[in-house]
Amino acid sequence: MATLITIAEAPRPPQTPAFALWALGFRPFYWLASIFAALSIALWGLQLSGLLAHAYLQGPLWHAHEMLFGFTLAVVVGFLLTAGRNWSGQATPTGGWLAALTALWLAGRILVLTPYGWAAALVGCAFPLAAAVALGIPFYKARNRRNYFFVGLLVLMGLAQLGVHLSALGVVQLPAWAGIQLGLDGMLFVMAVMAGRVTPMFTNNGVPGARATRHPQVEKLALGLVLALLLADLLQVSAGALALLALAASVAHGVRWWLWQPWKTLRVPLVWVLHMAYAWIPVHLLLRALAALAWVPASAATHALTAGAIGCMVMGMMTRTALGHTGRLLRAGPTELVCYSLVGLAALVRVFVPLMFAAWTLDALLLASALWSCGFGWYAFRYGPILSRARPDGHPG
């Protein structure tokens, strides 16, 4: 009888609602971002066909804006709201507040497809600023000064987006692409910082004997050169100076990646996908140097960063953190391998086929778009139940 009483009174894991989409920041933003990534190519096709002729932002500018300030920023915000809770020990938005922040992001995606430019600008720029406040409050309460710069970078993304809108609305006489480039530089810095923190750690934890290392001088040089590149873009320096800066940054990031022992990770997909993603950063920087000298098209450099580094890093982090924060084993199965392969192939086709075979450019764009949409669509389909349901162990999060 005593045994029965002990069992009956034993503490149980805290119960969470069966529907848990608003339980933590990564859940809604990962799911919606993956759905949007899969559908955005079709939306772009509707624009080009003339069926969305009244959209406020059109063609390549809409595509660049939405991939950066829509898709990528959603994943970054979802990640930061989740990681920020662990870094600070303080609560980040959940429940109604998280739903409201998600609705703000969703409204921004809809409004840029309407004629209401000022509404699109206000709502779109409000999202990263609201996310900065949501992240800044727990950091301030915890005096977590080490991560204050993430708040600043979210504000920077808001300002970069504002520049795009003010140019599109004719308020300022600056090319809208200047804001896009500033946003890309900011996102590159975020990726470089986060990859430097997690990739060596995940490598050493997941691959016995890997011995991934971080050299202090290489770290400072690699990150410093990205900030210098951002400043150079702001100041519109000469093509030659930009090429030299980008080339130096490419070498620094290549050395940084090599110190992480990427060749030792090939048997662990959850780790090698992060190395594959980071390898695109020195490639992007090299192509930026060549593009500054007009030796290759600028789009090759841009897509090495967006389709390559961002696409692969986002997929790697969305799978790993979703599995970990929903109480599942950190192990890549067939679903994850399909996602990694499709997105990785999309980047390779988009960047290198047009460079090597110019006559195949249109075919390459169509194939890369299909691979990208299938990769993120498959993630949305397979991870939707994981992201929307409570953890199997009953714990919150």
> How far, in Å, CA of 331 to CA of 212, rounded?
20
> How far, in Å, CA of 111 to CA of 97, rounded?
21
* Cβ atoms of 77 and 16 closer than 8 Å: no
User: What is the residue whose two structure tokens read 């303080």?
Assistant: 90
| pLDDT tens column, 165-183 | 999 998 988 888 888 999 9
> How far, in Å, CA of 375 to CA of 373, rounded?
5
* Cβ atoms of 34 and 380 closer than 8 Å: yes
pLDDT of residue 175: 81
| pLDDT tens column, 122-152 | 999 999 999 999 999 999 999 999 899 899 9
Q: Compute the average pLDDT of residues 42-60.
A: 79
**Residue 11 confidence (pLDDT) above 50:** no
Closest CA to 177 of 163, 191, 190: 163
For the four alpha carbons of 160, 98, 310 and 225, in that order, the dihedral sign comes to positive
DSSP for residue 213: -
Q: Which amino acid belongs to residue 241?
A: A
> How far, in Å, CA of 178 to CA of 241, rounded?
18
Percent helix, strand and coil across the chain, each to the nearest 5:
80, 0, 20
> How far, in Å, CA of 180 to CA of 176, rounded?
7
Confidence class of residue 395 from pLDDT cuts 50, 70 and 90?
confident
Q: What is the mean pLDDT of the chain?
A: 91
* pTM for the structure as a whole: 0.91
